Amino acid sequence: MAAELSRALAGKHVVITGGGRGIGAAVAAALAAQGARLTLMGRNRGQLEERAAALRTLGGPSCEVHCEAVDVADEASVAAAFAGAAERLGPVAVLVNNAGQAGSAPFLRTDPALWQQMLDVNLTGTYLATRAALPGMLAAGWGRVINVASTAGEKGYPYVSAYCAAKHGVIGLTRALALEMAHKNITVNAVCPGYTDTDIVRDAVANIREKTGRSEAEALAELAKHNPQGRLVRPEEVANAVLWLCLPGSEAITGQAISVSGGEVM
């Protein structure tokens, strides 16, 4: 069984948005180890190419990794990126919607521009990428859509109302689409990390330090205290949840928001 699972995704084309760093990079490594053919998407092509080179070094000559620069909030950019990915590696079998941003401000300082940006990147980006990938899954009669949401899609946090609204929307989209796809052999799920050791959290730490004068250790502790385990989640832990949803045996799991948060949400 272990040998079978070691190549469970062999030949399947996986697209990961926001694939150049953080959770996206960890997901890419986990799925490449299962034999997936990868398209990494993101705004920074140089960063994507660096990640692709690292994956090829780990996976050897058989590790296929393609890169597409994309603005997930722009319909034309998404369409072009997915067309290029399909031309290179074929129809998309697994989509991991990981691209996201987390801008913060008190509610009365959350201007329409910040509000719209959070919706565009986190929610509309998920919609556009899914809309581009889904026809290939339907034609193949198999597919997996995994949306990297957040515990901010399951509860509220102060000073990130726009981000929370967008991530709640991602979970709502996940549940609705899962029901539409229930008879199509396509599952749709959300993975909801708590505060994770990524650049986004490092930016939050810097913001706390700037506004409160706390040390880096104190700022990190402020975020880690949300997790009952008293720590930040590791990107690899999120990647393992994503991988499980792609592997044989997870077929009955759909429409779920799976919290990876040390017990913060249960």
The answer as to whether 265 is a domain residue is no
User: Is 216 a domain residue?
Assistant: yes
pTM given for the model: 0.93
Out of 1-5, 77-81, 98-102, 204-208, which region has the weakest mean confidence (pLDDT)?
1-5
Task: Give me the domain span that covers residue 8.
Answer: 2-194+235-259
Are both 126 and 79 inside the same structural domain?
A: yes
Same domain membership, residue 114 and residue 201: no
- pLDDT bracket for residue 1 (50, 70, 90): very low
163 is catalytic: yes
| Same domain as 151, residue 19 | yes
For position 100, which CATH number holds?
A: 3.40.50.720
- What one-character DSSP code corresponds to residue 160? B
Task: Kindly state whether residues 108 and 130 are assigned to the same domain.
Answer: yes
* Cα–Cα dist 165/40, whole Å: 26
* Spatial separation of the C-alpha atoms in residues 126 and 146, rounded to whole Å: 10
**Each residue of 162-198: pLDDT tens digit?**
999 999 999 999 999 999 999 999 999 999 999 998 8
Residue 154 lies in a domain: yes
pLDDT value for 182: 98
How many domains, the chain? 2
Same domain, 142 and 228: no
- Active-site residue among 127, 157, 159, 163? 163
Q: Residues 10, 34: one domain?
A: yes
Are residues 141 and 70 located together in one domain of the fold?
Answer: yes
Residue 60 has pLDDT above 80, yes or no: no
Q: Identify whether residues 206 and 93 lie together within a single domain.
A: no
pLDDT value, residue 133: 98
Average pLDDT of the segment spanning 54-67: 84
Q: Are residues 207 and 136 in the same domain?
A: no
The confidence band for 219, taking pLDDT boundaries of 50, 70 and 90, is confident
Q: Could you tell me if 214 and 122 lie in one domain?
A: no
One-letter identity of residue 250? S
The angle at the Cα of 169, spanning 120 to 105, to the nearest 5 degrees, equals: 60
Are residues 217 and 176 part of one domain? no
228 vs 107: CA distance, rounded Å: 27
Looking at every residue in the chain, the average pLDDT score rounds to 93
Burial of 180 (0-12, 13-18, 19+ CB in 10 A): exposed
* Whether 223 and 94 share a structural domain: no
Residue 146 has pLDDT above 80, yes or no: yes
Tell me what pLDDT residue 6 has. Answer: 64
